[in-house]
Amino acid sequence: MSSRYDALQASEDLNGSAQLQEDQNFSVASEELIDSEQHEKDKDVQTSIISAHEAERPMRWPRTVVRRVGKLPCILLFLSIFGTTAFVVYITSLWFNAGGNKTWKEIALSGWMTRSIAIAAVVLRTSTTVQAGIASSMLAAVALESTAGVFLEDLLPLSLMRASSAAPHALLAHTRLGINGRNWMLLALAAIISFTTMSLQLTSTILLADVNAGFVLSGLAPYEYVSPKSSYKTTGNWQTAPCPWPIFAEHAQDNPADGSLGYSYTGFMLRALLPLSDTRTRSSIHTYEGLAPVSDARTICIRPNITNTQVVEHSNDSDSRTIHGKISVPSDLLPILLAETPFEYFQPIDFACELSEDFIRDQDHEYVAQHASAWDLTVCDLSRSAWSMLKSGFHTDEFTSSLSFLLMNYTGYAHQRVQDWAHYPPLEFANFNDTTPGLHYHNSNEWLDLKQDAQTLEWWDGYNFADTKLSFSLCLSASDVFACDISASSRAPVEESMYFYDVERSQFRYDHIRRQMVRSSTLSLEERNVLTLHPQSWLYSNMSHHGSSYINIGEMMTLPSLQPGIEYPTLHLMDNAKAEFPRSERHIGGLGLEILQQGGTPAEAMQSMLMSLVLADYQQNVFTEVPNGTPYSKFAKRGDFITAQVPGGNGRPATNPAGATRSYTIVMVATAIHSVTICVILMLFIRGTRNTLI
């Protein structure tokens, strides 16, 4: 029994021990489960706490802002910022670039300058309007969540504004926001973006006010043309003036002489005529590279040595009188002429030239009340008999024949207002016979005056005639013309010059032509309406010469002999000569006389008149442009000034940027203020709201 009891007891003890072990195991498992749940709970709490902290960090704001503002408003806000930036960059590139920028030039030449500015203005207006609408919702949200609160009657409108992106000026209707703490800032910001948004609606108008016509330089392009055939015209001569005076290219060096040393000199000067037919094409030329005739335009006027003078009346024509004498170059001037000028030689000759009509009237006691000019100038051509030489401008150590002219200016009784015909000097003085006692030569710069000597002056009833004189000046002009490969350009479009009628003075004026023709130390070539002929080797051996196919300078400058029996033909320049007397075309003579009246030298006056003859003949030729070329075509390159609408355009070449003009500054300042204000509103929204969903 004891053994069964013991066995039973042992079995119970064993079962009890197993149950205890199971209970212990369950308890441990329960504790582990509880610990695990507690650990997970703590982990969740910890994770929740970390997320909350991370949410408050600035680096996590974009996710929160995007979620609260909304994806579509954020996309619109981003696009508007991009549009504003693109506008600023594009407009700045237009205002701060010029013709040197390839893209800028393409925009200008394609006619897209104004259109692109208008499109850019549309982009800016759209961007600022979108930004203003989103900013209005943010301001309404800040007002609703502010600690100062809003009035109850403003609650519904502000809530609608927050949800509907109203215009910023709608917020200004709720002025009571300004009395609630710091909410006055919201009204100020709304007022700023309202002003900038409305102002920037006028962007295109403001910017286009700065866009005007300017000139854009085109690139060099091939120019093929056919030049006229050779022609030897004598019909032009001095009877045809250009109209208007064509543009030419000029290269000058050496200092001109003003006449104080006994001669006036234009300096070394070459002038090229471009093979372009019409005024518009010549005026728009920017660069020309190719063949063109180059004329040697050097002119010297020298105080001559004159002897054996006497006035001769022709037996068959009482209205015609000539002065005879012998002319040469003074020996005292030869050294300086040979050293300082291209003068080389002038053969002494006898001359016989017509005098002005005023001289004849004075001799016949025919008082003339008015004179067409203070200068009674005649031009006597000596080129047919005089042998004169100048140093060549196209050959080294060689000489070329020159054209020779004798300028004669008469200062007569009519200039001294003599009205009593009995009070005239003796006939010996009136005939300017240099053998008459008391009649002597007087040096006057490049002029030689033949007049009464003041020491032996005779008085006739209170009248003296010391100012009655006959003045002479010998002018030599180069006549070489060669076709050369040239390069000519201009920094600005030039205009062809023309005379005009001065109503107040009742006479024609030649101010523009005179400025073009006469070399100036104060005016640039562009201001004179002259192209720049770039320097190069002008030697005949180095140039591409083909002669000149359309300029015969000798034929144009040699005066026609219209008076039978007169060896040296003479032209009258705007004096009161009768119709049968040979005279120059009115405007050629008027140009020369005006140059003298305005203080110019005889060399400048003579050069300008001779150049006018060249231009008149040049203007009669037609150069036909042949784009596809012919066997007779000549080839060149040319670049033009093309009119285009450009920022800051003022009718001048667009070589310099417009820069920060007033219109540009106004638009950019308004854009900057608007952008800064939007950024401030965005920061207020981020910091001042927590529960708003736009």
pLDDT at 228: 74
The mean pLDDT value for 1-21 works out to: 46
Q: How far is residue 123's CA from residue 79's CA, in Å, rounded to a whole number?
A: 10
- The per-residue DSSP string of 381-399 comes to E-TTT--EEEE-SSSTT-E
Whether residue 431 contacts residue 311, with contact meaning beta carbons closer than 8 Å, is answered with: yes
Q: Element (H or E) spanning 493, and its range? A: none
Q: Which amino acid is at 471?
A: S
The answer to whether the beta carbons of residues 388 and 401 sit under 8 Å apart is yes
Question: Which pairing describes strands 531-533 and 317-328: parallel, antiparallel, or unpaired?
Answer: unpaired
Mean pLDDT of all residues in 603-620: 90
Residue 152 has a pLDDT of 63
**Residue 140 amino acid letter:** A
d(CA 587, CA 584): 8
Q: How much is the pLDDT for 134?
A: 87
Buried-exposed string 469-483: b where 16+ CB fall within 10 A, e elsewhere: bbbbbbbbbbbbbbb
111 or 66, higher pLDDT:
111
**What's the mean pLDDT in 146-157?**
63
What pLDDT sits at residue 230? 54
Q: Which of the residue ranges 147-161, 520-534, 608-622 would you say has the lowest mean pLDDT?
A: 147-161
**What 3-state DSSP class applies to 224?**
strand
Give the pLDDT of residue 35.
53
Between residues 37 and 664, the one the model is more confident about: 664
- Pick 198 or 413 by higher pLDDT: 198
C-alpha distance across the termini of the chain, in Å: 91
Long-range contacts of 503-512 (CB under 8 A, 24+ apart): 508/586, 508/587, 508/590, 509/594, 510/587, 510/590, 510/591, 510/594
Report pLDDT for 232.
45
**Whether the predicted pLDDT of 652 surpasses 80:** no
| pLDDT at 477 (0 to 100) | 92
Residue 595 has what pLDDT? 94
pLDDT reported for residue 218:
86
Mean pLDDT for the chain overall: 78
pLDDT of residue 334: 94
> Is residue 671 a contact partner of residue 195, using CB atoms and an 8 Å limit?
no
Structure tokens at 642: 């093309």
513-565 pLDDT, tens digit per residue, is 999 999 998 999 999 999 999 988 776 655 554 454 455 555 545 554 444 44
CA pseudo-torsion sign 211, 214, 218, 223: positive
Distance CA 592, CA 374 (A): 12
Q: Name the phi and psi angles at 118, rounded to 5.
A: -65, -40
Structure confidence at residue 418 (pLDDT): 47
Average pLDDT over residues 299-328: 84
Q: Is the pLDDT of residue 610 over 70?
A: yes
Whether the Cβ atoms of residue 420 and residue 460 lie closer than 8 Å to each other: no
In the predicted structure, residue 262 carries a pLDDT above the cut 70: yes
| 287 has pLDDT over 90 | yes
**Residue 442 confidence class, pLDDT cut points 50, 70, 90:** confident
| pLDDT tier for residue 148 given thresholds of 50, 70 and 90 | low
- 309-313, 485-489, 498-502: least confident range: 309-313
Look at residue 30 and tell me whether its pLDDT is greater than 70.
Answer: no
Question: What's the pLDDT at 430?
Answer: 64
Residue 222, pLDDT > 60, answer yes
pTM of the model: 0.74
Q: What is the pLDDT of residues 443-488, one digit of tens each?
A: 999 999 988 776 555 554 445 556 678 899 999 998 888 888 889 9
Position 336, amino acid = I
CA distance 694 to 689: 11
Identify the weakest region by mean pLDDT among 117-121, 259-263, 374-378. 374-378
Q: Please give the Cα distance from 168 to 171 (Å, whole number).
A: 6
Cα atoms in the 13 Å half-sphere on the side-chain side of 491:
8
pLDDT of residue 57: 46
CA distance 167 to 234: 82
Cβ–Cβ under 8 Å, residues 476 and 557: no
* Nearest residue to 271 (alpha-carbon basis) of 87, 131, 479: 479
5 versus 541: the higher-pLDDT residue is: 541
Question: Above pLDDT 70, what percent of the chain?
Answer: 71
Higher per-residue confidence, 396 vs 14: 396
Q: Is the pLDDT of residue 76 over 80?
A: yes
What would you measure as the largest C-alpha separation in the chain, in angstroms? 200
Give me the residue label for tokens 């060099």: 220
